[in-house]
Structure 1
């Protein structure tokens, strides 16, 4: 996550490599003929997350309904397995998945440019989540470039969250405004050598436990460790699944209150 200059529209110009895990939240939907849309939230991370109109899933469904003029509705169920507001784009991925799911459910097609603009209106990370493949994302989130990195595809990835929330706005407000250069996202060696997360320092000031997570992950000797997004989730990439499983076991033993997920990076 390289933060460059602040744009005239108030957004920060970002450069970030988006990769997607094989595991995550699950969405299901049933067709309704009356135009009503409902959302039920369940799952291990669903507590405290409402299904009201502010939920990104509901906003995505309403936006698609309005953009297409369709009179159908849907009963949507969100099985929330990823921590809320944890810097891994779970809500954005859910919004993008809602658009894909409802287009299939309602048997409708939306022109690509229209769909991209609709998704951007929902959030800066949503356009990249539509394809859910490895991409280099620039600007506010509207500039997407496919990145087929052979050394990342299917790579074991461990996600760890200390169950501490940090405000994205507060993290950005704490950024030191120093442009440290572009992101080299051509391969994992470049990411390890020069890749960084410019939001890590302000996030750690707000939640020092992030430093503990990074240190605990680094102690497991992975290929690469970084904080994800604006935090507080951190990730580690491993060369093989056995090493990842051993690291996960050790972390669950030493930090039973942390959220730990073993997964792999989806193929591009």
Structure 2
């Protein structure tokens, strides 16, 4: 059965990027969201929304948290969230900022593990990974990575399935929300069609995994707010199995 690796990157601290950042991108949101932003609301904090949607269907996914955020805030701002969702079955992974050395990667892994259980998987921020980085990831103790993506502007079999690089199981990113609405220029009405086409390609090419990356920061945005429909569509397909990264890992090794 074709597996859907459902994953979410948490790119921003809990308080978000700040009002100036959001207002400069106000065209991404409906007016009612912007009105709430003016009263202090952070629309980038979408973890509760995702968890609620997935829990309603009995689905579990993987959240990748950054050890440190751009404003210097560390992952402890999410400590209660991480503990709660981990206890309820969501997988916690590491969204790596720094691949300069094995020690740097290991330190980021340990930072997340101070809050959570052992982390087995990672994804590099901005998907900025090179072939030589996999050895560092392996030596830091990770068993799988999901940072590889060959094409931004289309769905391609090369971004499906899994492979191994230097002893690390790699799940390439097949569909990312941000690329759907930029490089691929897909509107909300066509999102499900894109997923249908990806599933057809995977089956035709005998690929075993489609990896989906949907940021928690996008679920209140135009486009990104379609996550609920995407989730319901995937769940409705009897020929698919929605999985966390750790579940896939056990399947392929």
TM-score band, normalised by shorter chain? under 0.3
Question: Counting helix residues as a fraction of each chain, which structure ranks higher?
Answer: 2
- Greater relative contact order (Cα 8 A, min sep 6): structure 1 or 2? 2
Query: What is the TM-score of this pair, normalised by structure 2?
Result: 0.27
Query: What is the TM-score of this pair, normalised by structure 1?
Result: 0.26
* Larger Rg over CA atoms: 1
